[in-house]
Amino acid sequence: MTPDSLDSLGVPKAEFLASVRQALGREDVPPAQLYPRLADTLAELEDQASQIRRRLEENLAALLDKLADMAAKGGWNVHRAAGTEEAVGYIESIVRDSGATNVVRSAQDVFNQVPVDSALTNLGAKVTVVLRDDETPREVLREEIRQSGVGITGADYALAETGSLVILPRKGLSRLVSLVPPVHIALVRAQDLLDTLDDLFLLRRLEYHQRDGEMGSYLNFITGPSRTADIEMTIVEGVHGPKEVHMVILG
Amino acid sequence: MPEIKTQDFSAASIAAINDPKLRRALDRVASGFEVARLDRVAEATPEVWEDWRQQARDIKAHTIEHLDYYLDLLYTNVTAAGGHLHFAKDANQANEIVAHIAQTRGVKVATKSKSMVSEELGLNPVLEAVGVEVWETDLGEYIIQLAEETPSHLVAPALHKSKEDVAELFSEKLGIPYDEDIYHMAATAREVLRDKFMEADLGISGANFVVAETGTLVIITNEGNGRLSTSAPRIHIGITGMEKVIPSMQDLSIFLRLLPQSATGQRITSYVSMTTGPRRFDDEDGPEEFHLVLVDNGRSKMLADPALREALYCIRCGACLNICPIYARIGGHAYGWVYPGPIGAVVSPMLVGLKRAKELPQASSLCGACREVCPIKIDIPRMLLDLRKKTAESPDSNLRSAPWIEGFLARFYARLMSGPKLLGMAVRFGRLLQKAERIIPFFSPMTKDGEWIKKAPLPPLSKWTRSRDLPTLPKQTFHDIWNKELSRDDS
Amino acid sequence: MTHKASISVDLYVTCIIDQLYPKVGVSVVRVLRRLGVTVGFPKDQTCCGQPVYNTGFTKQASTLAKRVLEQFQDSEYVVVPSGSCAATLRVFYLELFADDPDLLTQAKALAAKTYEFSEFLVNVLKVEDASDCGVARQGTATYHPSCHLMRELGVKTEPKKLLSTVPGLEEKPLEGAEICCGFGGTFSVKFPHISEGMVADKIANVQASGAETLVACDMSCLMNMAGALNRQGSDIKVRHLAQILDSESD
């Protein structure tokens, strides 16, 4: 796929590693003790994953509260919805308040459970599902995203420790939907919940090893709006990413 | 490589100290980031924070000790994910690699998210020379790109600029009306760069970490430009130093706690973006090509020196800058090259040559505050002492460059202190001079009570008396008093 | 209130106290004797080598360090009224002699019995309250924790414990206490423009504290701060902790 051979670029691996070894004064051997995490077997990872799941089940309510609390501290506008109707209601009012006439959303299955499209079209907004098919090339969808006022996604994970949304862009989940429009709404369900960063990375590694070294091309944590303090240490929100982010938690 | 001005440290630091605007800017930094960092330490609790630091240090120490092994693993996994890993021995080679990729892929526009290593390489002019329009997109980097300056801090590159400076800069370079409102200026940057993100063929990022286990590049950012640069263009090139590798993705939890909290006092940054190869065939968007350029550029010199190896553990959080009383007075530019502050005082000499940057390790009171705030417990004072030792005594004349007079004074001092007799003579001579001075006060004005000297005639003491009084030699030393009155032991 | 009266220490008085501030040395001896300690003074002592060590001249530093190793090899305890000199003996000598097994052994032996003055009182003599020293004061004082004392030796609470229990003395907090005073040995004359700024900030904080007396455990820091205070015409008294605890000192 790449136009030409890249083999001649830079120092050949063997030579580079040899010079590193020389600097360290060591032989070409693995570390005397294999790094514990790299020695994890698939069975061990699966076992840790089920422990994580168990702990989540036992502490669900408390963790949801922690997520809401940390997400708010992190700059999310947090809305807790008891049911799907309430969730749709929140999304509707956020879109209405934004004045957006163009909305883009991902094609995640949460939207089967929480049908937002009709409510938003009733508001007079155009809703584009960012999912490529034979008729819609990437460029067209990209333009829709650029023109939109609100981007809506689900969650792959929601981390209580940091109040972060975690998304894994893939088919039906564009990297740009949660990034380009000035407002981002994320719909989070109890099943997306995780407690700690350690939990998240364990599950990612599990997937990587289960799928023989495949974990998708990208992962994003989102905690609050885009920010900068580069001018006189004054915090400004909405620099290149969204200015306003809303987390609607179902449950 | 960007221009090296480390040899001008003295003059540059004096100029910086005399700049009241810079002082105001630096005061803002010290009170901002460090206060927030302390909140995070208290929230984690000091015991937990210490535990994190030790874990982080252990991970880095293990990785650096086996760096070749983890670079090999990284290579395997970046390649398996469909990416390309290129090893660059120096800045020229790294720039060549990036320029080659740009040229062969017909790149016209490139957006960059913050990368200190790309500053170290002096990458932008090289790309511009092959016809690429390069846009810095981090607000601070964008500002200094317009101003044609270099960054003055690891995390907040334009902190030396006041809002008036930025307003003037925007007005001049962008042709817009002068507007000091910080919110408006940020909005201007957003507007100007929006199209560029979407138009760009190439996105260039740095890397906070690269994970060997999975071949993943990790950046932690706040503005969104890092996400845009690594998602919108068709090619993504990540550039970083070879020391940034960590063994397992699991290790990220510790670093994602320590880095934001140490750098700005945030619990976590707005975004953490993790790239593992180019987009997969049915992804909605993302780059078609992913390249990682890992740079040596003198790091193997630090690797080869056990006294300096731990400088490679640095995660570039900037906490040492924020606490350092020297940085607080002189700012980043006085250090004369890419890396300022305490860590810069070690890394810059190692990368540009100790002889050329020999003042940097000297300009420290060795207070140790940097070591205290470093999330990886890097012992910067020890490394400064080691560099001082090299400057004073190294058998290698490329390193040994202390002025002759210093060596002479050191030998003289050791001689003087080698026995109480010689020292006693010197002290008696000093008292004689003082007596003479009181009778004929021609070169060392003293206070009336004879307790203080207001102005010493020669350096080094004259440097002291510029701003401080110097105590005069008392009539007796402690030795004298002991011998006369104290040596009897009645408890 | 009984202390180990059978303890005998050798005083490493430090060259700055010996040459410039002998009264501080006298106070140290008086306080230790008051607490029942026998005080010896190996007379050939001079400088620990810190100034040359810190400027990278380790050969010269070794010459001076070996003298210290020799002079104190038979001491039961070595008490040092200076955080930076105590750190030199206890921490830096180990690094200086890292490659010489014989000298390293001697350095370790020295390190094991070397104490800074305030930590000796609190941790070895078990002084709980400064009134044990038979001293009473009036007025206000503020304490500057010197960098090596705090960060190389880890001595943080001991000086405060002693200072805060001096009958009649009110302690005032010092803003930015843990920020370096700007001395740093030869740093103060090699980079005077930076050092001046640091001491100016420090004495501004001292003056803002409202205290009448500035106290520390290092005469090097105190010399720096006193020199700046005096240049400004300040009345603030500058005292080593030993002088505060010595009932015969003003």
Find the CATH number of the domain harbouring C236.
3.40.50
Mutate to test the interface with C, among B467, B488, B490 (most CBs of C within 10 A): B467
Among C86, C121, C156, the domain boundary falls at C121
Helix axis angle, B404-416 to B420-439, nearest 10°: 110
Cis peptide before C101 (omega within 30 of 0): no
Angle at the Cα of A70 (from A69 to A73), degrees rounded to 5? 90
Which residues 84-113 of B are in CB contact (within 8 Å) with A? 84-89, 93-94, 96-97, 100-101, 104-105
Which residues, in sequence order, are bridge partners of residue B324? none
Q: Is A219:A166 a contact under the CB 8 Å cutoff?
A: yes
- B267 Cβ contact partners less than 8 Å away, ≥ 6 residues apart: A70, A73, A74, A162, A163, A223, B40, B43, B260, B261
Q: Tell me whether residues B189 and A222 touch, CB distance under 8 A.
A: no
pLDDT at B116 over 80: yes
Half-sphere exposure of residue B157: CA atoms within 13 angstroms, side-chain side:
23
Helix axis angle, C58-71 to B404-416, nearest 10°: 10
Length of chain B: 491
Judgement on whether residues C105 and C139 belong to the same structural domain of the protein: no
pLDDT mean over C17-30? 97
Among C121, C137, C157, the domain boundary falls at C121
Q: Is residue C56 part of a domain?
A: yes
- Which pairs count as long-range contacts for B139-144, CB under 8 Å and 24+ apart, including other chains? B139/A228, B139/A230, B139/A231, B139/A239, B139/B186, B139/B189, B139/B223, B139/B225, B140/A228, B140/A230, B140/B114, B141/B112, B141/B114, B142/B189, B142/B193, B143/A230, B143/A231, B143/B169
Which residues 153-212 of A are in CB contact (within 8 Å) with B? 162-164, 169-176, 179-180, 196-198, 201-202, 204-205, 208
pLDDT at C61 over 60: yes
pLDDT at B204 over 50: yes
- How distant is the Cα of B435 from the closest Cα of chain A, in angstroms? 55
**Is A141 in a helix, a strand, or coil?**
helix
Burial grade of C225 (CB within 10 A; 0-12, 13-18, 19 or more): buried
Q: Is the dihedral of CA B174, B177, B180, B186 positive or negative?
A: negative
Element (H, E) at A126: strand A126-129
Tokens of B132: 């690429």
Residues C250 and C244: their CA atoms lie apart, in Å, by: 8
Residues C218 and C143: their CA atoms lie apart, in Å, by: 11
Share of chain C above pLDDT 70, in %: 98
Backbone angles phi, psi at C235, to 5 degrees: -90, 0
**Three-state SS letters, chain B:** CCCCCHHHHHHHHHHHHCCHHHHHHHHHHHHHHHHHHHHHHHHHCHHHHHHHHHHHHHHHHHHHHCHHHHHHHHHHHHHHCCCEEEEECCHHHHHHHHHHHHHHCCCCEEEECCCHHHHHHCHHHHHHHCCCEEEECCHHHHHHHHHCCCCCCCCCCCCCCCHHHHHHHHHHHHCCCCCCCHHHHHHHHHHHHHHHHHHCCEEEECCCEEECCCCEEEEEECCCHHHHHHHCCCEEEEEEEHHHEECCHHHHHHHHHHHHHHHCCCCCCCEEEEECCCCCCCCCCCCCEEEEEEECCCHHHHHHCCCCHHHHHCCCCCHHHHHCHHHHHHCCHHHCCCCCHHHHHHHHHHHHCCCCCCCHHHCCCCCCHHHHHCCCCCCHHHHHHHHHHHHHHCCCCCCCCCCHHHHHHHHHHHHHCCCHHHHHHHHHHHHHHHHHHHHCCCCCCECCCCCEECCCCCCCHHHHHCCCCEECCCCCCHHHHHHHHHCCCCC
Angle at the Cα of A134 (from A130 to A135), degrees rounded to 5? 75
Residue A39 sits at the chain B interface (C-beta within 8 Å): no
Task: Identify all chain B residues contacting C53, using CB atoms and an 8 Å cutoff.
Answer: 385
Residue A62 sits at the chain B interface (C-beta within 8 Å): no
Q: The domain B6-300: what is its CATH number?
A: 3.40.50.10420
What's the pLDDT score for residue B444? 66
What's the pLDDT score for residue B254? 98
Segment B67-102, tens digit of pLDDT: 999 999 999 999 999 999 999 999 999 999 999 999
pLDDT by residue, tens only, chain A of 251 residues: 444 566 668 999 999 999 999 999 999 999 999 999 999 999 999 999 999 999 999 999 999 999 999 999 999 999 999 999 999 999 999 999 999 999 999 999 999 999 999 999 999 999 999 999 888 888 899 999 999 999 999 999 999 999 999 999 999 999 999 999 999 999 999 999 999 999 999 999 999 999 999 999 999 999 999 999 999 999 999 999 999 999 999 98
Tell me the pLDDT of chain C averaged across its residues: 96
Residues C100 and C65: their CA atoms lie apart, in Å, by: 13
Tokens of C136: 């009473």
Q: Is residue C2 part of a domain?
A: no
What's the pLDDT score for residue A2? 47
Judgement on whether residues C160 and C220 belong to the same structural domain of the protein: yes
What's the pLDDT score for residue A14? 96
Which range has the worst mean pLDDT, A63-72, B22-31, B125-134? B22-31
Tell me the pLDDT of chain B averaged across its residues: 94
Burial grade of A202 (CB within 10 A; 0-12, 13-18, 19 or more): buried
Q: How many domains does chain C have?
A: 2
**Is C177 in a helix, a strand, or coil?**
coil
Q: Is C158:C123 a contact under the CB 8 Å cutoff?
A: yes
pLDDT mean over C211-227? 98
Which residues, in sequence order, are bridge partners of residue C79? C11, C115
Q: Which amino acid is at A18?
A: A
Q: Is residue C202 part of a domain?
A: yes
> A127 — alpha (psi -120 to 50), left (phi > 0) or beta?
beta
Q: Closest Cα partner for B277 from B211, B178, B182?
A: B211
Residue B391 sits at the chain C interface (C-beta within 8 Å): yes
The parent domain of residue C58 ranges over 8-121
Q: Tell me whether residues B466 and C192 touch, CB distance under 8 A.
A: yes
Angle at the Cα of B288 (from B286 to B290), degrees rounded to 5? 95
What's the pLDDT score for residue A147? 96
Q: Is residue C230 part of a domain?
A: yes
pLDDT at B448 over 70: no
Q: Is residue C184 part of a domain?
A: yes
Q: Is residue C3 part of a domain?
A: no
pLDDT mean over B127-155? 95
Residues B235 and A111: their CA atoms lie apart, in Å, by: 32
pLDDT mean over C197-210? 97
Residue B222 sits at the chain A interface (C-beta within 8 Å): yes
What's the pLDDT score for residue B66? 98
Judgement on whether residues C115 and C192 belong to the same structural domain of the protein: no
pLDDT band at B434 (very low <50, low <70, confident <90, very high): confident
Number of helices (H) and strands (E), helices first, in chain A?
Answer: 8, 12
Segment B458-489, tens digit of pLDDT: 888 999 999 999 999 999 999 999 999 877 65
What's the pLDDT score for residue A1? 40
Q: Is residue C250 part of a domain?
A: no
> A166 — alpha (psi -120 to 50), left (phi > 0) or beta?
beta
Of B105, B257, B267, the CB nearest to A3: B105
Q: Closest Cα partner for A96 from A125, A126, A69?
A: A125
Q: Is B180:B161 a contact under the CB 8 Å cutoff?
A: no
Residues A172 and A113: their CA atoms lie apart, in Å, by: 16
**CA of A189: how far to CAs of A83, A154, B272, B442, C205, in Å?**
10, 8, 21, 85, 53
Task: Identify all chain A residues contacting B246, using CB atoms and an 8 Å cutoff.
Answer: none
Q: Is B348:B31 a contact under the CB 8 Å cutoff?
A: no
pLDDT at C2 over 80: no
Half-sphere exposure of residue B338: CA atoms within 13 angstroms, side-chain side:
19
**CA of C31: how far to CAs of B181, C42, C249, in Å?**
62, 19, 10
Residues B197 and B138: their CA atoms lie apart, in Å, by: 12
Judgement on whether residues C80 and C169 belong to the same structural domain of the protein: no
Q: Is residue C57 part of a domain?
A: yes
Q: Tell me whether residues B367 and C151 touch, CB distance under 8 A.
A: yes
What's the pLDDT score for residue B27? 86
What's the pLDDT score for residue B441? 67
Residue entry with tokens 């001082």? B388
Tokens of C101: 């097994």
What residues does each domain of chain B span?
6-300, 419-486
User: E-assigned strands of A56-121?
Assistant: 77-81, 102-105
Q: Is B323:B341 a contact under the CB 8 Å cutoff?
A: no
pLDDT at B177 over 80: yes
Domains of chain A, each with CATH number or no CATH: 43-250 (3.40.50.10420)
Which range has the worst mean pLDDT, A62-66, B396-400, C211-215? B396-400
**Is C33 in a helix, a strand, or coil?**
helix
Task: Identify all chain B residues contacting A12, using CB atoms and an 8 Å cutoff.
Answer: 87
Task: Identify all chain B residues contacting A1, using CB atoms and an 8 Å cutoff.
Answer: 288-289
Residue A16 sits at the chain B interface (C-beta within 8 Å): yes
Judgement on whether residues C186 and C205 belong to the same structural domain of the protein: yes
Residues A58 and A63: their CA atoms lie apart, in Å, by: 10
Share of chain C above pLDDT 90, in %: 97
Mutate to test the interface with B, among A231, A235, A247 (most CBs of B within 10 A): A231
Judgement on whether residues C176 and C153 belong to the same structural domain of the protein: yes
Mutate to test the interface with B, among C46, C59, C94, C179 (most CBs of B within 10 A): C46
What's the pLDDT score for residue C1? 45
Residues C89 and C107: their CA atoms lie apart, in Å, by: 8
Q: Is the dihedral of CA C130, C134, C138, C142 positive or negative?
A: negative
